[in-house]
Amino acid sequence: MGNPFAASLGIRHLVCGSCNGCEHEMNALGNAFYDITRDGWDIVASPRHADVITVTGPMTDAMRAAARDTVDAVPRPRVILAIGDCAAGTGTWAGAPQAGTGAGVELCADLFVPGCPPAPDAIREGLHGAAELLGKKR
Amino acid sequence: MTGVALRAAVLPLADELRAAAEESRLLGAYATDHDLRYVLAARDGAYERTQAREPGRPAHAHSQQFPMLSWDEREMADDRGVAFDALPDPRAFFIAPGVDPPAVTANGEGLMHFVVGPVHAGIIEPGRFTFSSGGETVVHLDAQLSFSRRGCERHLEGSDAVAAAPKVARICGSCSAARSFAYARALEALAGVRLSHEVELARVVVAELERVYNHLADVAASAAGAGFGPGFARGMALKEKAMRLNATASGHRLLFDAIVPGGIGPGVLLEPERVLHEIALLQEEIDAYLRGLFSTASLVSRWQRAGVVEARTAKAFGAAGPAQRASKGTFDVRTAATYGAYDGLAVRAAGASAGDVFARCSVKRDEIGESIRLICTALRRLPTEHAPSVVRLDLPRGEAVTVVEGPRGAETVAAHVDGEGRLARFHAISASYRNWPIVVKAMDGNIVPDFPLVNKSFNLCYACADR
């Protein structure tokens, strides 16, 4: 029998200039309809407690340093999961004066979930992908 | 040039601003390359008073008399290079690259400071809060926003004004429909287009659906802020149902692109009877939830006297929407400067007087009920076979400023269009931008652990405040 905690995830969410649309859907994962605690997953309050870091938004000039610090604080192995079109660099604000090239692109995300915003089920699929990838990295 | 916005001066500017601020109808201010625009609301909608920019001569900072304009004038100075005679708060408004922006703190024996953010522990947008406290009591709170600043306004400037609508819808996800509504009305005013009553009714449905799902989330989060888990869990489940209803009604869970310049999106209210049926079912659940919540004595006790905003503070610092109406205010754009189909729907504006968390939640509770009534009335007046259509807009050179009532209050949009139908200047004044200074004031004298409670009773957005 393998590690019984292999599929469990501590998830830390990092907002880098998102419009809050992706956050509505991330929050929905905690409601009674999606309830990700059933998957053994939890949103954690510190990057130190995280296995997966979810990032949203195009990245902004004002958030770049804090975002880098947050990601650096996550223990290895870790997975960076980019949520939404903005994080992939294909969203509405790509090319805006104080926006970057996508939070997921700049932070070298492992996986991307497209959508504006992606539906909760799509984010859940992305998190399953993250769990699988984390197992391989371990 | 089409000019729906500018008006001949009747009163000196300062007197007009004072009269408007007293009635909570001073909406904000912004700058162009040539002048400063102070935006106000009258019975027939938003309008502007201008003050010329004169080279070599600093403009008078009206925030010296009207603290609510402090953010607007700091932004004008920072973003558009306006020189003012004396800004009461001269700090840069936006965060310059590589600069850790200074916070205003209270200092003295027994006082300590601590900083939270910009990255927060939950699923929340970024902001930096610097608390000055004596023991547990907050003496001063400094909120540094603009971490979400993407530069939306300059990015939009130069774009085709009609084609820019999906971008305007994505400045902020939580008040997308309200901003799309205001933007569409601005372009329609410029083009001189009037829409059918049917389309106006459909827009009311969309705008009120946005209020319902936002207010449900706010009330649920306020239950969480007081540590009442069941109130949070049930409320967020109802918010999910409301978002699914949004998808049924518009094709999008957050109502993005449901209101477009010239009409409504192609997926809006294809089955009005189904929406009417589903909202009737949802209403029963919401009523039961809110009755239960507001009759839970321990929760009500935690909500009362927390985060009090006095009526005079609400006026001086420019509270908007439910935050203003919970502190004895009576301004609601839907009734004070009615627009679209609201005129025929006799909106009943909610109100409360205590200015605490309980008052803000009560106003939102009452507004949820009124929104559902408006949605049902509008849907019953719509024909069952509904064919959405979009009127083509031919935009002349000109300027328009419009305001609608979003979930958090007045959502103002200014659109200046050049001779080729492109945006020469775009500015959005969001209700969150107006209300953030109120959140700060609401924390005075409260205990530090009540910040999540007080904050969630406003539940403001960062994206539209930062842009």
| Residue spans of alpha helices (H) in A15-117 | 21-28, 64-72, 103-106
CA distances from B309 to B89, B138, B304, B445, B462 (A): 22, 15, 12, 11, 21
Q: Does A93 touch chain B (CB under 8 A)?
A: yes
Indicate which CATH number applies to the domain containing A31: 3.40.50.12280
Nearest CA in chain A to B164: A92
- Express each pLDDT in B292-348 by its tens digit: 999 999 999 999 999 999 999 999 999 999 999 999 999 999 999 999 999 999 999
Report yes or no on A55 lying in a domain.
yes
Q: Which residues of A touch B174 (CB under 8 A)?
A: 20, 24
Is residue B116's pLDDT more than 80? yes
Collapse the DSSP code of A114 into the 3-class scheme (helix H, G, I; strand E, B; otherwise coil) and give the result: coil
Contacts of A87 (CB under 8 A, 6+ apart): A16, A18, A22, A55, A56, A57, A58, A102, A103, A104, A105, A109, A112
Sheet of strand B26-31: strand arrangement: B26-31, B35-42, B45-52
Q: Do B149 and A61 touch (CB under 8 A)?
A: yes
Cα–Cα dist A47/A38, whole Å: 22
* Mean predicted confidence (pLDDT) in B252-278: 95
* Mean predicted confidence (pLDDT) in B79-104: 93
Q: Print the domain residue range for A49.
A: 9-137
- Express each pLDDT in B13-43 by its tens digit: 999 999 999 898 999 999 999 999 999 999 9
User: What's the confidence (pLDDT) of residue B384?
Assistant: 72
The band of B136, judged by pLDDT with boundaries at 50, 70 and 90, is very high
* Mean predicted confidence (pLDDT) in B163-175: 98
Cα–Cα dist B371/B334, whole Å: 11
Q: Does A101 touch chain B (CB under 8 A)?
A: no
- Express each pLDDT in B192-249 by its tens digit: 999 999 999 999 999 999 999 999 999 999 999 999 999 999 999 999 999 999 999 9
Question: In Å, how far is B387's CA from the nearest CA of chain A?
Answer: 26
Q: Are B316 and B65 in contact (CB under 8 A)?
A: no
User: What's the confidence (pLDDT) of residue B287?
Assistant: 97
Report yes or no on A78 lying in a domain.
yes
The band of B8, judged by pLDDT with boundaries at 50, 70 and 90, is low
User: What's the confidence (pLDDT) of residue B1?
Assistant: 41
Residue A11's beta-bridge partner residues? A43, A52
User: What's the confidence (pLDDT) of residue A56?
Assistant: 98
Residue B51's beta-bridge partner residues? B36
pTM confidence score: 0.96
Write the DSSP assignment of B69-131 as a string of letters. Answer: GHHHHHHHHHHH---BS--SS-S-SSPPTT---------STTEEEEEE-SS-SSS----EEEE
User: What's the confidence (pLDDT) of residue B97?
Assistant: 84
Cα–Cα dist B41/B23, whole Å: 10
Q: Which residues of B touch A97 (CB under 8 A)?
A: 150-151, 154-155
Report yes or no on A109 lying in a domain.
yes
Report yes or no on A44 lying in a domain.
yes
CA distances from B431 to A102, B320, B410 (A): 27, 6, 5
User: What's the confidence (pLDDT) of residue B9?
Assistant: 57
Q: Which residues of B touch A25 (CB under 8 A)?
A: 253
Q: Does B122 touch chain A (CB under 8 A)?
A: yes
User: What's the confidence (pLDDT) of residue B387?
Assistant: 66
Tokens found for residue B36: 């400063």
* Mean predicted confidence (pLDDT) in B347-369: 97
Cα–Cα dist B149/B130, whole Å: 19
Nearest CA in chain B to A14: B119
Q: Does A121 touch chain B (CB under 8 A)?
A: no
The band of B11, judged by pLDDT with boundaries at 50, 70 and 90, is confident
Is residue B3's pLDDT more than 90? no
Report yes or no on A2 lying in a domain.
no
Neighbours of B343 (CB within 10 A): 12
Report yes or no on A57 lying in a domain.
yes
Q: Quick one: B76 exposed, middle or buried, by C-beta within 10 A (0-12, 13-18, 19+)?
A: buried
Using alpha carbons, select from A77, A128, A99 the residue that is nearest to residue A19.
Answer: A99
* Mean predicted confidence (pLDDT) in B126-134: 96
User: What's the confidence (pLDDT) of residue B131?
Assistant: 96
Interface A–B counts its CB contacts (< 8 A) at 129
Using alpha carbons, select from B434, B467, B414, B406 the residue that is nearest to residue B255.
Answer: B406
> Which sequence spans correspond to the domains of chain B?
2-80, 152-466
Question: Considering CB atoms only, which of A13, A31, A46 is closest to B237?
Answer: A31
Contacts of B377 (CB under 8 A, 6+ apart): B345
Q: Which residues of A touch B166 (CB under 8 A)?
A: 92
Report yes or no on A3 lying in a domain.
no
Q: Which CATH superfamily is domain B152-466 in?
A: Cytochrome-c3 Hydrogenase, chain B (1.10.645.10)
* Mean predicted confidence (pLDDT) in B438-447: 96
Q: Which residues of B touch A67 (CB under 8 A)?
A: 119
The dihedral through the CA atoms of B433, B435, B438, B442 has a sign that is: negative
Is residue A3's pLDDT more than 80? no
- The interface predicted TM-score (ipTM) is 0.95
Cα–Cα dist B244/A96, whole Å: 31
* Mean predicted confidence (pLDDT) in B426-439: 98
* Mean predicted confidence (pLDDT) in B394-410: 98
Number of domains within chain A: 1
Q: What mean pLDDT value characterizes chain B?
A: 95
Report yes or no on A15 lying in a domain.
yes
Q: Which residues of A touch B148 (CB under 8 A)?
A: 15, 17-18, 57, 60, 62-63
User: What's the confidence (pLDDT) of residue A10?
Assistant: 95
The band of B2, judged by pLDDT with boundaries at 50, 70 and 90, is very low
User: What's the confidence (pLDDT) of residue A15?
Assistant: 97
Pairing of strands B409-417, B423-429: antiparallel
Q: Do A62 and B146 touch (CB under 8 A)?
A: yes
